């Protein structure tokens, strides 16, 4: 699903209860992780709920394409993960670094309708995505000369 579709769907839902239900539905559509992928290696720090994020990178440099998979033990957080994946997954590292996620989240109203804990967790997930995009976009280290 594309972020534009989520924004459109949010715009027709007047009540926040309906928007939360929609977020939960989005989260149900996430590709499941294996038991082994629910590992501390993939855990996102700074989230009150448990969140796992896996980044798969194809290519290198700013043109590297990043695909994300993830999960959470909280339904609404799974929905937030789905929103972030609609915003970032399948895009080039350079593109991801140029996205103004605060504007998109404000457009959805998420900037003012999440608890402080969920907002902090969302910020931690965004920071992880941006860090992975930064790492992918970094030029390869030159081979050491002897």
Q: Is the pLDDT of residue 2 over 50?
A: yes
The model's pTM is 0.92
CB distance 68 to 129 below 8 Å:
yes
Q: Is the pLDDT of residue 63 over 60?
A: yes
Q: Is the pLDDT of residue 142 over 50?
A: no
The beta strands (E) that lie in the chain are given as 51-58, 65-72, 91-92
Digit-coded pLDDT (tens) for 117-139: 999 999 999 999 999 999 999 97
As a whole-number percent, the residues of the chain with pLDDT over 90 amount to: 88
Domains of the chain in sequence order:
3-137 (3.90.1010.10)
* Active-site residue, 108 included: no
CA distances from 61 to 134, 137, 138 (A): 9, 4, 6
CA distances from 37 to 5, 77, 78 (A): 29, 17, 15
Q: Which of 6, 26, 44, 47 is catalytic?
A: 47
Digit-coded pLDDT (tens) for 13-34: 999 999 999 999 999 999 999 9
Q: Looking at residues 80-96, what average pLDDT do you find?
A: 97
Q: How many CA atoms lie within 13 A of 14 on its CB side?
A: 0
Q: Looking at residues 86-96, what average pLDDT do you find?
A: 97
Q: Looking at residues 76-96, what average pLDDT do you find?
A: 97
């Amino acid at each position: 699903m594309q972020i534009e579709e989520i924004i459109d769907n949010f715009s027709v839902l007047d009540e926040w209860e309906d928007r939360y239900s929609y977020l939960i539905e989005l989260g149900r559509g996430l590709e499941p992780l294996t038991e082994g992928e629910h590992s501390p290696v993939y855990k996102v720090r700074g989230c009150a709920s448990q969140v796992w994020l896996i980044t798969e990178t194809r290519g290198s440099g700013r043109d590297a394409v990043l695909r994300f998979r993830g999960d959470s033990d909280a339904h609404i957080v799974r929905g937030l993960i789905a929103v972030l994946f609609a915003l970032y997954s399948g895009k080039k590292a350079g593109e991801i670094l140029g996205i103004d996620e605060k504007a998109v989240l404000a457009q959805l109203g998420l900037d003012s309708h999440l608890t402080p804990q969920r907002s902090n967790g969302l910020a931690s997930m965004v920071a992880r995505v941006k860090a992975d995009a930064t790492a992918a976009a970094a030029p390869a280290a030159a081979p050491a000369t002897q």
